[in-house]
Amino acid sequence: MLETPSPTARALRTLELLRVHPGITAGRLSERLGVSERAARRYVAILREAGVPVEATRGAYGGYRLGRGVQLPPVVFAEHEALALAMAVLEGGAANRDGEDLVGSGLAKLVAALPGDLRHQTAMLVAHASAAPDRAAVSPDSSILATLVAASAARRQARITYQAEAGAPWEEVVDPWAVVTRHRRWYLLCNSHRAGAIRTYRIDRVRGVTQITQPFELPADLDPVATLEEHLGIGWAFPTRVDFAAPYEEVARWIRPPMGRLAATTDGCTLLGSTDNPTMYAAEWLAPLPFRFTVVGGAELRLAMATLAARLTAAAGA
């Protein structure tokens, strides 16, 4: 459980609230600080004693605001905000404790910029908390990610060079509808002019990107996350088809969007999709399923499943 914020932390939080909400009332200030109105006025008095000009206006529309010419630090963190940011970085498992990567150096700067008590508490968290790395997490090039976000925000097409896990890289023009992060991976949801269809590309596999001047129209009522989930299993190099001898309702609970689309049949259900990694599809996605199934389509997936079955049979000593 987090400790009660120190008077210094609450005074800094008061300063931030005055900056963001000029004219804030004592009642509203007390609510945001989690203290009584009398205590909120005391924190305002602390700021004034420290030389911060805080003006007060009486009346129905009165409140507190900072005086003109006040120079504030770029960011003032409350205790729970600083700790939450440090926790998010550690949970991602992306930062080295010695600050040798971009995330680690950024976290180190954040900690160094905090005031005394808060700096000590956050530094203790960073130094002594441990996080197991997420092996599935992949970080894209930050400059490529920024260019794609800028093109999406400006509604301008982009020319990308993409390198799938198998095969040669290719270049194409896309309408970058949205950038979506899912399960520690970053994806580009786009309209591919090369394929003439919606595509989802992993941004860590984008080798180059250039924003071009041609504008595009964003689909009305686009839900980026839902659309990404729907199309994750579409458009990869190797088609897949798996038939299940089990009811659709039971199988559906085990099927994730990247595996493809599940449809009910008269005697079970069928999963249609595609993949660029048949070995992973067979071993990590299909093998754990507690249902009887048959790999009907996709020569590459059938070979991967046969290879996996032979290896497991040999491991059992049969």
238-315 has which fold? Alpha-Beta Plaits (3.30.70)
**Short-list 282, 284, 291, CA closest to 309:** 282
For 142-231, the fitting CATH number among 2.30.30, 3.40.50, 2.40.50, 1.10.3470 is: 2.30.30
Residue 193 has pLDDT above 90, yes or no: yes
Exposed / middle / buried, residue 279 (Cβ in 10 Å: 0-12, 13-18, 19+): middle
Cite the residue boundaries of each domain of the chain with CATH code 2.30.30.
142-231
| Domain 7-66 architecture | Orthogonal Bundle (1.10)
Read off the DSSP letter of residue 204.
Answer: G
pLDDT band at 2, cuts 50/70/90?
Answer: very low
Provide CB contacts within 8 A for 179, sequence distance 6+.
Answer: 145, 148, 149, 152, 186, 187, 188, 189, 203
Residue 220 has pLDDT above 80, yes or no: yes
Exposed / middle / buried, residue 60 (Cβ in 10 Å: 0-12, 13-18, 19+): exposed
pTM of the model: 0.64
Instruction: Name the least confident of 34-43, 73-82, 144-153.
Output: 73-82
Cite the residue boundaries of each domain of the chain with CATH code 3.30.70.
238-315
Cite the residue boundaries of each domain of the chain with CATH code 1.10.10.10.
7-66
On average, the pLDDT of the chain sits at 86
Residue 127 has pLDDT above 70, yes or no: yes
Winning range, highest mean pLDDT, from 127-131, 218-222, 234-238: 218-222
Side-chain-side CA neighbours of residue 157 (13 Å)? 14
